[in-house]
């Protein structure tokens, strides 16, 4: 392994460990991060720590000030739309709160995206939506949740992009991380519900037909079904999960 590759791996590992600790509150707001101490704790050089801290600062999780050093920022200053921040929060004790926030965001954005896509989607985007639903159907029947996830992420990314609104399309990574978190934390049924797949097909068909009200209505049903599935996953006993 080359030094550059090794450094990149160490940097990513330290970044994840620090980000997870900050998101979970293990390292709380106002705490000072000292490169030498963190280097000793994680067994890496101060250069690796500083690289990780720079990324955290770009996300708003930490702030560097003269005579004070690098301190952890309060949550109100975080870039809560950054997919890595979402992942770290979903991995921590505030998962339910994060899921609720993300579900509310999706309810406000994705039905609108579906309605706009019915007017603006290109033939190519319509084809991608239909193909993604076909893949979801096949992978759902096979019980391959990770392949299903990839098709589901493609569907939602494409729909957001098909809205023709760059602000809406920019939320593609956010929605993709929500979907990944549902799978990673076993908040999906063992096999995707056929009803959920049918609703995705309804959205694709409505977008192709240029039927904005039907596209928006079907997307609202998808989000209601997703919320119910996540709530069931949260309350499901550990031995009933995947």
Give me the torsion for CA of 192, 197, 198, 201, rounded to 10°.
180
Dump pLDDT digits (tens) for 94-127. 998 999 999 999 999 999 999 999 999 999 999 9
CA distances 191 to 97, 100, 104, Å, are 25, 23, 25
What's the predicted TM-score (pTM) here? Answer: 0.88
| Euclidean distance between CA atoms 144 and 142, whole angstroms | 5
Same domain (yes/no): 61, 114: no
| Euclidean distance between CA atoms 47 and 53, whole angstroms | 10
Same domain (yes/no): 113, 52: no
Q: How many domains does the chain have?
A: 2
Q: Are 85 and 78 in contact (CB under 8 A)?
A: yes
**Residue 189 above 90 pLDDT?**
no
Same domain (yes/no): 18, 134: no
Query: Structural domain of residue 206, as residue ranges?
Result: 83-240
User: Please, which residues have CB within 8 angstroms of residue 48's CB and are 6 or more apart in sequence?
Assistant: 7, 10, 11, 14, 39
Same domain (yes/no): 87, 71: no
Average pLDDT, the chain: 91
Same domain (yes/no): 122, 67: no
| Euclidean distance between CA atoms 226 and 188, whole angstroms | 9
Of 100, 138, 69, 136, the C-alpha closest to 223 is 100
Same domain (yes/no): 182, 204: yes
The predicted structure's pLDDT at residue 117: 98
Dump pLDDT digits (tens) for 127-182. 999 999 999 999 999 999 999 999 999 999 999 999 999 999 999 999 999 999 99
Task: Specify the higher pLDDT residue, 230 or 198.
Answer: 198
Q: Are 28 and 41 in contact (CB under 8 A)?
A: no
Residue range 58-64: average pLDDT?
97
Pairing of strands 32-33, 69-72: antiparallel
Q: Are 92 and 75 in contact (CB under 8 A)?
A: no
Q: CATH number of the domain that 73 lies in?
A: 1.10.10.10
CA distances 135 to 76, 229, 241, Å, are 39, 20, 24
Domain boundary among 77, 92, 109: 77
Same domain (yes/no): 62, 120: no
Same domain (yes/no): 96, 18: no
Same domain (yes/no): 139, 229: yes
The predicted structure's pLDDT at residue 186: 87
Distance of CA 193 to the CA centre of its chain: 21
Same domain (yes/no): 100, 63: no
Domain boundary among 24, 55, 77: 77
| Euclidean distance between CA atoms 54 and 62, whole angstroms | 9
| Euclidean distance between CA atoms 155 and 139, whole angstroms | 14
Same domain (yes/no): 39, 116: no
Give the sign of the dihedral formed by CA 152, CA 153, CA 156, CA 158: negative
The predicted structure's pLDDT at residue 52: 96
Domain boundary among 77, 106, 125: 77
Q: CATH number of the domain that 171 lies in?
A: 1.20.120.530
**Residue 237 above 60 pLDDT?**
no
Same domain (yes/no): 87, 152: yes
């Amino acid at each position: 392994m080359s030094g550059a590759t090794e450094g990149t791996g160490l940097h990513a590992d330290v970044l994840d460990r620090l980000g997870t600790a900050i998101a979970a509150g293990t390292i709380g707001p106002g705490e000072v991060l000292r490169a030498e101490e963190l280097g000793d704790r994680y067994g890496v050089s101060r250069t690796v720590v500083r690289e990780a801290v720079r990324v955290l600062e770009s996300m708003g999780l930490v702030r560097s000030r003269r005579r004070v050093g690098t301190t952890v920022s309060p949550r109100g200053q975080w870039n809560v739309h950054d997919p890595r921040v979402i992942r770290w929060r979903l991995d921590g004790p505030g998962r339910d709160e994060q899921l609720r926030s993300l579900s509310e965001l999706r309810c406000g954005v994705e039905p609108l995206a579906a309605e706009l896509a019915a007017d603006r989607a290109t033939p190519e985007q319509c084809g991608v939506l239909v193909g993604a639903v076909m893949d979801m159907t096949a992978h759902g029947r096979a019980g391959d949740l990770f392949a299903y996830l990839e098709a589901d992420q493609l569907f939602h990314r494409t729909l957001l992009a098909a809205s023709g609104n760059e602000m809406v399309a920019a939320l593609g990574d956010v929605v993709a991380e929500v979907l990944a978190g549902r799978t990673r934390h076993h908040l999906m049924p063992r096999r995707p519900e056929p009803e959920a797949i049918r609703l995705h097909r309804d959205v694709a068909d409505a977008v192709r037909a240029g039927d904005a009200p039907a596209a928006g209505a079907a997307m609202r049903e998808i989000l209601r079904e997703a919320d119910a599935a996540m709530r069931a996953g949260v309350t499901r006993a550990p031995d009933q999960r995947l």
